[in-house]
């Protein structure tokens, strides 16, 4: 039984490493925007064409995206799970997007919300912003603009005015994925950058393995806790053994 779990875990790690090597080395697979990583986004959109377009485009830019197709499902997902940002359509079945937003804010949910709608009246925009929306964009839209607005919202929420964040002698450029340690370049894979980004946005906080897995993988992907341990080990090896502290029984912390 233990041998079977080990084999499954090894296969998942191997598959992840192969995919990262392909993205890094095969021409045409690189995308500079994909390094804005470690961001878990909830998309609440009932239109299949728009939803699929956003899912594919944002995933290609490195975001981990999960989708709800009704206001009720989106409200519950946003209430029960931890997302870095939300894209919220207003014209939703079961519960209007404006009602979803008002309920979240009334309950103390603070994640940044980008409202996406076909309605373009200025009075409705004011209503949405007053209800707690952080940004507003009307259809039709371009996915790169959505990605750029999400990046700006995340940086603002995390207290970073630019795309470069630093911790001790480590610097991470969120736009390009370039990492330096003591002014020397360090090669990291896509998932390593995602994990480093997530830690650097949450310095001093204990992060459980389950939370790290949620932000590295979408809901439909298989998650194995031992893959998290592998990436933690690789970050320590490349950036310093004391970079990430293991808090037994609770998770990991970057101080």
Among 27-36, 136-145, 228-237, 241-250, the range scoring the smallest mean pLDDT is: 27-36
CA 168 to chain centre: 23
Q: What is the mean pLDDT of residues 166-179?
A: 85
pLDDT of the residue at 124: 78
SS3 at position 3: helix
Q: What is the mean pLDDT of residues 62-72?
A: 92
Q: Where are the domains of the chain?
A: 33-158, 162-254
What six digits make up the tokens of 112?
């940044």
pLDDT of the residue at 12: 38
Q: What is the mean pLDDT of residues 157-166?
A: 69
Averaged confidence pLDDT in the chain: 80
162-254: which CATH architecture? Orthogonal Bundle (1.10)
User: 33-158: CATH homologous superfamily?
Assistant: Response regulator (3.40.50.2300)
In the DSSP assignment, the letter for residue 207 is B
Instruction: Determine contact, residues 60/144, Cβ cutoff 8 Å.
Output: no
Alpha-carbon torsion angle 122, 128, 134, 135, nearest 10: -40
The C-alpha atoms of residue 226 and residue 17 are separated, in whole angstroms, by 14
CA 240 to chain centre: 24
């Amino acid at each position: 039984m233990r041998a079977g779990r080990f084999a499954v875990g090894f296969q998942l790690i191997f598959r992840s490493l192969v995919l990262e090597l392909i993205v890094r080395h095969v021409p045409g697979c690189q995308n500079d925007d994909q390094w804005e990583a470690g961001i878990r986004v909830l998309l609440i959109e009932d239109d299949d064409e728009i939803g699929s377009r956003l899912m594919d485009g944002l995933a290609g830019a490195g975001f981990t995206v999960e989708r709800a197709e009704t206001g009720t499902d989106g409200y519950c997902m946003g209430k029960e799970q931890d997302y870095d940002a939300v894209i919220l359509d207003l014209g939703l079945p079961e519960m209007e997007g404006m009602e979803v937003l008002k309920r979240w804010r009334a309950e103390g949910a603070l994640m940044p919300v980008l409202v996406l709608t076909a309605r373009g009246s200025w009075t409705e925009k004011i209503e949405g912003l007053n209800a707690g929306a952080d940004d507003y964009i009307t259809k039709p839209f371009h996915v790169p603009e959505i990605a750029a607005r999400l990046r700006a919202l995340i940086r603002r929420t995390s207290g970073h005015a630019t795309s470069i964040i630093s911790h001790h002698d480590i610097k991470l450029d969120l736009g390009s994925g370039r990492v330096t340690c003591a002014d020397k370049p360090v090669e990291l894979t896509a998932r390593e950058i995602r994990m480093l980004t997530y830690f650097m946005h949450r310095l001093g906080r204990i992060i459980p393995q389950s939370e790290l897995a949620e932000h590295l993988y979408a809901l439909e992907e298989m998650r194995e806790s031992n893959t998290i341990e592998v990436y933690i080990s690789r970050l320590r090896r490349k950036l310093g053994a004391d970079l990430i502290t293991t808090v037994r029984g609770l998770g990991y912390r970057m101080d």
